Structure 1
Amino acid sequence: MLNALYITRQESYLHKERETIVIKNGDEKLGQFPAINIGSITCFGQVSVSPFLMGYCAEQGIGLSFYTEYGRFLARVQGRQAGNVLLRRVQYRWADKEDKSVAIARLIVAAKIANSRSVVLRELRNHGENVGLSKASDKLATNLRRVKNAQTVAEAMGMEGDAAASYFSVFNELIREPHFNFSGRIRRPPTDPVNALLSFVYSLITQECISALQGVGLDPYVGFLHQDRPGRASLALDLLEEFRAPWADRFVLTLINRRQVQLKDFKQEASGAYRLKDDARKTFLVAYQERKQTEIMHPYLQEQIPIGLLPHSQAMLLARHIRGDTEFYTPYLLK
Structure 2
Amino acid sequence: MSPPPLHASELAGLAWLEIDLVLRAHAPPRRAHPLVVLEALFKGVFEAAGLDARQVKQLWHSPGQSVHTLLWQAGSRIEITLQLFGLQSAQAAQWQQRLLSRFDPSAQPNFSLEHISPWRTAQLPSPPAEAGDLTLNFLTPVPLPHAPGQPRTALDEPGFLRLCQTRLRKLFGREGQLPPPPALDTSVWRYWRTKHHSRSQNGHPMFINGCLGPLILSGESLAAWRPWLALFAAVGLGERLSFGQGRFQFASSAAERTGPGAAPLRLRRPLVIDSDLAGAHVGLADANLVVSVDGQPVRKLPLMRIDHLALHGPCQISTPLLDACALEGIPVLMGAPGQTPLVIVGQQAEAQRYRRLAAHHAAHQALDRAQRARLAARLVEHKLAACTWLVRQRYQPGDHRLLAQLERARQALARSERSSVVRGWEGWAARHYHRWLQRRLQPLGDFQVRRHYGQTGDLVNSLLNYGYGLLRNHLARGIRLAGLDPWLGVLHEANDRHEALVSDLMEPWRPHVDRLVLRWVGLKVIRPGSFTEIDGQLRLLPQARERMVQDFTRMLERPPRNGSLRLAARIGQMLDSYADAAARGMLGDWSMPMPIAGIPGADDEA
TM-score above 0.5? yes
Provide the rounded CA distance (Å) in 2 between the counterparts of 1:75 and 1:330: 25
Provide the rounded CA distance (Å) in 2 between the counterparts of 1:279 and 1:86: 42
Give ranges in structure 2 of 5+ residues lacking alignment.
1-265, 599-606
Q: Is the 8 A contact 2:341 2:473 kept in 1?
A: no
User: Which residue does the alignment assign to 1:322?
Assistant: 582
**What do the CA deviations read for 1:68-100 (whole angstroms, capped 9, x no partner)?**
xxx553632333535365643342233232233
The counterpart of 2:482, out of the listed 188, 199, 216, is 216
The counterpart of 2:545, out of the listed 281, 289, 298, is 281
Provide the rounded CA distance (Å) in 2 between the counterparts of 1:231 and 1:187: 13
User: Which residue does the alignment assign to 1:251?
Assistant: 516
User: Which residue does the alignment assign to 1:290?
Assistant: 554
Q: How do 1:1-335 and structure 2 match up within 5 A?
A: 2-7=268-273, 8-10=275-277, 11-58=279-326, 60-67=329-336, 72-73=338-339, 75-79=341-345, 81=350, 83=352, 87-96=356-365, 97=367, 98-124=369-395, 127=396, 129-130=397-398, 133-175=399-441, 178-189=443-454, 190-245=456-511, 247-271=512-536, 273-296=537-560, 304-324=564-584, 327-330=589-592, 333-335=596-598
Amino acid across the alignment from 1:275 = R
Provide the rounded CA distance (Å) in 2 between the counterparts of 1:282 and 1:290: 12
Q: Is the 8 A contact 1:102 1:153 kept in 2?
A: yes
Aligned length: 320
- CA shift at 1:225, angstroms? 1.9
Task: Give the direction of change, closer, same or farther, for the CA distance of 1:297–1:240 in structure 2 (3 Å limit).
Answer: farther
Give ranges in structure 1 of 5+ residues lacking alignment.
none
Provide the rounded CA distance (Å) in 2 between the counterparts of 1:46 and 1:25: 12
**1 or 2, which has the higher helix percentage?**
1
Amino acid across the alignment from 1:141 = E
Q: Is the 8 A contact 2:444 2:459 kept in 1?
A: no
* Larger Rg, first or second structure (1 or 2): 2
Q: Is the 8 A contact 2:282 2:291 kept in 1?
A: yes
**What do the CA deviations read for 1:85-136 (whole angstroms, capped 9, x no partner)?**
5643342233232233223211101111221122223222xx3x12xx3332
Secondary structure in 1 matching 2:334:
strand
Amino acid across the alignment from 2:305 = N
Q: Is the 8 A contact 1:321 1:329 kept in 2?
A: no
- CA shift at 1:45, angstroms? 3.5
Secondary structure in 1 matching 2:311:
strand
* Structure with larger RCO (C-alpha < 8 A, sep 6+): 1
Q: Is the 8 A contact 1:84 1:217 kept in 2?
A: yes
TM-score by structure 1 length? 0.85
- CA shift at 1:259, angstroms? 1.2
Provide the rounded CA distance (Å) in 2 between the counterparts of 1:297 and 1:109: 27
Moved more, 192-201 or 313-322: 313-322
TM-score by structure 2 length? 0.49
Provide the rounded CA distance (Å) in 1 between the counterparts of 2:480 and 2:558: 24
- CA shift at 1:250, angstroms? 0.6
**What do the CA deviations read for 1:2-54 (whole angstroms, capped 9, x no partner)?**
32223225121011234221211112111222112112223343311123333
